[in-house]
Chains A and B, each alone.
Chain A
């Protein structure tokens, strides 16, 4: 008899596969990050509330002289940042798209919808003529393949420091409307920080939690079930 899948693992791999089929390269990085990749490179100001001690785990290892203190990554956008930077340094100019999915950490009290660890998916696409219509096309395709033709996908304006314009992705699924991703066009400061010339290159980026999709899709009532190692979760 086959073993039973964990819904997060199954869903994140399904997501990676969908993006891979759209031409995204699958990448991965460390979970312990530096402040530079987790915040500074992404245009998150030093006094931004997200950097407060109550949200971010700061790790007790010596700070990097250039990249700052060590943190447990609060989002997988740090993975995207590292790989976009590598690509910028390679000097190539073809349109480049990356996708990753991994564990992220938040230093907060836990309840049925909050955990200290959870999974995100994060991606970006950069090139000379990358635009918002492409962002809409890619994300619409992704959620349709992920959640079925019955899903309604809504994009709406929002604000995140790493993108401009910034937007939220909402899905109407299983009778619920919920925000599933933050997205937008990479902020010129971010492009510059990663080694691109924002006058010549543009890019879209997106990221969000997998857990909410999983909870909605499989109607799991308590987020904490996902990380307790309890096989009663594995009903598949």
Chain B
């Protein structure tokens, strides 16, 4: 929600602090300011208003009230809007035939002059990211921004007969202000005249009775529509408007009439005209409520012994009507109907704590004793993981979704719409990919594992999947069998459903009935994980092996340093020793250099200058290249 600093200042007596200070105050006590933008001589805040605060704080008046409360400032009194009505202008005739319209207020104004907006109004709307259209339409957007109440203007001369608020008929169509045509269904609420649809109620106006530069006579609407109905219409037709969002957040219907009069007064001031008597149909009035909590209970939930003053302070500051019984120490709050956030006793605790500020709360660590024994699956998984890491296997996670399986997602966005029935399938693909990247990773073989859940018609279970990929598969199966039996011995329970995929991957169910009911520590040595992480390139790598004779006494680090220095930014990771032997007082070192770029596939031409420089440096050092 866009809020103008200068507009807030007009509503508050005291001089406001800087925008940065206001941002911090709101962050600590109320809302997150997502963006602060300087527009001309104004500052505009984009404030994320919490869902339960939209109805009371989602407007300039509401935000001014919030900020005044937080700082202890005084709101400037705002004169109640008023208009003079004339008998010469006939009041709109409105019929409501649906129970999803809670209130409908309207007034007719004859003899307006539609023109470009006054400079201050168009500037204000533009600073809040809106387009100025004309004085009449801009007035509706101004009222929305000030009060949070959406309103709408129809060209009265384009309306045939009376106005009806009703459900649409299946297949009825409407052309919206944007020119888009929509086909409606019975769950859509509409505003109609005797011959056409005028608007999608609470969502968007229609083209039929659009105000244009020739418009002389207008009907203003300020209504309240059921939030669920508006939401369904906005979603099903994919129309996201500010008005729809307001109704979805269930603003209070009590503000609709005042907003209508405010709009009418403003339009008469800037566009002229004579008003009819306003009409107000209010079939489902807002019900009022009270909320109570004892000082004792509030203190207990906060963990602080509150004094009566601390207990009631926030309601005093925010001008929330309340009573406090000194004898019973019970506070009863009588909220305005816009104060949707004050519904249950715990809401009052929320107000007390956030007003005081969470930063001023002293944290207490409770003395707890573990009551339940730790989850068997977590314990077994943790033991399994430690064992496999110790045996040289690296841990991976692959996706739980596959293109085939037993159980399908009804609404998946991708073609991988089934839950995996085993880990091995996706795991195997990863293992192959990792094997192709051996040089880039700097390994001579791939040993990896994953622990995760699988889903079959028989149900959900936790599996461990273990794989080894090296040049020759011989002996791998035996190695995996040994790992599985070692794990079973360690857990004290046989791993079951052991399944091999080829010779190189084994998968089994992790038992949950492990004998050790608790592990020493779940945390198997996380310490020493260095930062930062080094990202990798998506492009293929080029590998060069360089073998060179050096005197036996030479430290091979000399070679590593030389290769690293000359390798430019294209050298990936440290050079890896792949072969070494000594003969007649000389040692041959073969290092593998891996080159890769972040922005392209490298060619021999990219690498040649580097290898040439390396050979020349080796030559200069007196080392013989093999």
Interface centre among B401, B440, B453, B522 (most CB of A within 10 A): B522
Q: Which stretch of B157-165, B352-360, B563-571 is in the interface?
A: B352-360
* A179 CB, min distance to chain B CBs, angstroms: 8
User: Is B75 part of the binding interface, using a Cβ–Cβ cutoff of 8 Å?
Assistant: no
User: Is B80 part of the binding interface, using a Cβ–Cβ cutoff of 8 Å?
Assistant: no
Residues of B within 8 A of A219 (CB): 531-533
User: Is B458 part of the binding interface, using a Cβ–Cβ cutoff of 8 Å?
Assistant: no
A70 to B, closest residue via Cβ: B407
User: Is B77 part of the binding interface, using a Cβ–Cβ cutoff of 8 Å?
Assistant: no
Contacts A125-B368, A131-B301: A6 and B30 contacting too (C-beta < 8 A)?
A: no
Question: Once bound together, how far apart are the Cα atoms of A96 and B368, in whole Å?
Answer: 8
B450 to A, closest residue via Cβ: A229
Q: Is the CB of A103 within 8 A of B372?
A: no
* B70 CB, min distance to chain A CBs, angstroms: 11
* B254 CB, min distance to chain A CBs, angstroms: 22
Interface centre among A1, A3, A107 (most CB of B within 10 A): A3
Q: Is the CB of A220 within 8 A of B533?
A: yes
Q: Is the CB of A202 within 8 A of B395?
A: no
Contacts A25-B371, A218-B533, A232-B440: A5 and B411 contacting too (C-beta < 8 A)?
A: no
- Chain B interface size, as a band, is 35 or more
Q: Is the CB of B450 within 8 A of A16?
A: no
Enumerate B297-328 residues with CB–CB distance to A below 8 Å.
300-304
Question: Once bound together, how far apart are the Cα atoms of A185 and B349, in whole Å?
Answer: 10
Question: Once bound together, how far apart are the Cα atoms of A60 and B626, in whole Å?
Answer: 64
Residues 81-105 of chain B, each 1 if its beta carbon lies under 8 Å from chain A, else 0: 0000000000000000000000000
Q: Which stretch of B114-122, B189-197, B441-449 is in the interface?
A: B441-449
Residues of B within 8 A of A208 (CB): none
Q: Is the CB of A156 within 8 A of B532?
A: no
A166 to B, closest residue via Cβ: B350
Contacts A32-B460, A158-B50: A229 and B397 contacting too (C-beta < 8 A)?
A: yes
Partner of B375, one of A10, A11, A27: A27
Residues of B within 8 A of A92 (CB): 371
Enumerate B353-389 residues with CB–CB distance to A below 8 Å.
353-354, 358-359, 361-375, 377-379, 382, 385, 388-389
Contacts A25-B373, A218-B531: A231 and B448 contacting too (C-beta < 8 A)?
A: yes
Residues of B within 8 A of A137 (CB): 363-366
Partner of A185, one of B346, B367, B371, B389: B346
Q: Is the CB of A22 within 8 A of B368?
A: yes
Enumerate A156-173 residues with CB–CB distance to B below 8 Å.
156-159, 164-167
Q: Is the CB of A229 within 8 A of B523?
A: no
Residues 376-420 of chain B, each 1 if its beta carbon lies under 8 Å from chain A, else 0: 011100100100111111111111110000011111111000010
Question: Once bound together, how far apart are the Cα atoms of A226 and B363, in whole Å?
Answer: 34
User: Is B502 part of the binding interface, using a Cβ–Cβ cutoff of 8 Å?
Assistant: no
Residues of A within 8 A of B426 (CB): 229
* B344 CB, min distance to chain A CBs, angstroms: 7
B373 to A, closest residue via Cβ: A25
* B441 CB, min distance to chain A CBs, angstroms: 5
Question: Once bound together, how far apart are the Cα atoms of A207 and B61, in whole Å?
Answer: 34
Q: Is the CB of B52 within 8 A of A159?
A: yes
Residues of B within 8 A of A136 (CB): 358, 361-364
Partner of A234, one of B375, B396, B407, B429: B396
Question: Once bound together, how far apart are the Cα atoms of A188 and B460, in whole Å?
Answer: 32
Q: Which stretch of B171-179, B204-212, B430-438 is in the interface?
A: B430-438
Q: Is the CB of A157 within 8 A of B30?
A: yes
Q: Is the CB of B366 within 8 A of A164?
A: no
Question: Once bound together, how far apart are the Cα atoms of A17 and B361, in whole Å?
Answer: 26
Question: Once bound together, how far apart are the Cα atoms of A117 and B414, in whole Å?
Answer: 13
Residues of B within 8 A of A58 (CB): 409-411
Contacts A138-B365, A229-B397: A27 and B372 contacting too (C-beta < 8 A)?
A: yes
Residues of A within 8 A of B536 (CB): 230, 232
Residues of B within 8 A of A54 (CB): 411
B397 to A, closest residue via Cβ: A227
A199 to B, closest residue via Cβ: B297
A95 to B, closest residue via Cβ: B368
Residues of A within 8 A of B29 (CB): 156-157
Enumerate A97-154 residues with CB–CB distance to B below 8 Å.
97-98, 100, 103, 105, 107-109, 116-117, 125, 129-134, 136-141, 154
Question: Once bound together, how far apart are the Cα atoms of A46 and B446, in whole Å?
Answer: 48
Contacts A31-B460, A231-B441: A60 and B395 contacting too (C-beta < 8 A)?
A: no
Residues of B within 8 A of A202 (CB): 300-301
* A26 CB, min distance to chain B CBs, angstroms: 4
B454 to A, closest residue via Cβ: A31
* B246 CB, min distance to chain A CBs, angstroms: 15
Residues of A within 8 A of B452 (CB): 103
Residues of A within 8 A of B524 (CB): 10, 13
* B220 CB, min distance to chain A CBs, angstroms: 31
Enumerate B23-81 residues with CB–CB distance to A below 8 Å.
27-30, 32, 50-53
* A36 CB, min distance to chain B CBs, angstroms: 17
Contacts A59-B410, A157-B354: A3 and B522 contacting too (C-beta < 8 A)?
A: no
Residues of B within 8 A of A83 (CB): 372
Question: Once bound together, how far apart are the Cα atoms of A220 and B392, in whole Å?
Answer: 24
Partner of B346, one of A18, A20, A52, A187: A187
User: Can you list 8 A-B contacts with CB-CB less than 8 angstroms, sorted by A residue number?
Assistant: A6-B395, A6-B396, A11-B526, A13-B522, A58-B410, A59-B419, A156-B358, A218-B533
Supplied contacts A131-B303, A133-B302, 10 more A-B pairs, CB within 8 Å: A96-B371, A117-B401, A132-B303, A133-B303, A164-B346, A218-B532, A218-B533, A226-B397, A229-B448, A229-B450
Measured CB to CB, the residues of A under 8 A from B are 1-11, 13-14, 16-18, 20, 22-28, 30-32, 47, 52-54, 57-61, 72, 83, 87, 92, 94-98, 100, 103, 105, 107-109, 116-117, 125, 129-134, 136-141, 154-159, 164-167, 185, 187-188, 202, 217-222, 225-236
Measured CB to CB, the residues of B under 8 A from A are 27-30, 32, 50-53, 228, 231, 235, 300-304, 341, 344, 346-347, 349-350, 353-354, 358-359, 361-375, 377-379, 382, 385, 388-401, 407-414, 419, 426-427, 429-431, 433-434, 437, 440-441, 443, 446-453, 455, 460, 521-524, 526, 528-536
Q: Identify the 6 closest CB pairs spanning chains A and B, nearest first.
A: A23-B368, A229-B430, A133-B303, A131-B303, A165-B350, A137-B363
